[in-house]
Amino acid sequence: MSKHTILFACGHIADAEVEGSEYEKKQKLIYLKICGRCPDCEKKYRENRGATSGEDR
Q: What residues line the site for Zn ion (CB under 5 A)?
A: 10, 12, 38, 41
Q: In this complex, which beta carbon is closest to Zn ion, that of residue 9 or of residue 18?
A: 9
What is the Cα–Cα distance from 24 to 2, expressed in whole angstroms?
12
Q: In this complex, which beta carbon is closest to Zn ion, that of residue 24 or of residue 49?
A: 49
The least CB distance from residue 41 to Zn ion, in Å, is: 3
Could you count the other beta carbons within 10 Å of the beta carbon of residue 20?
12
The least CB distance from residue 8 to Zn ion, in Å, is: 6
What is the Cα–Cα distance from 51 to 1, expressed in whole angstroms?
32
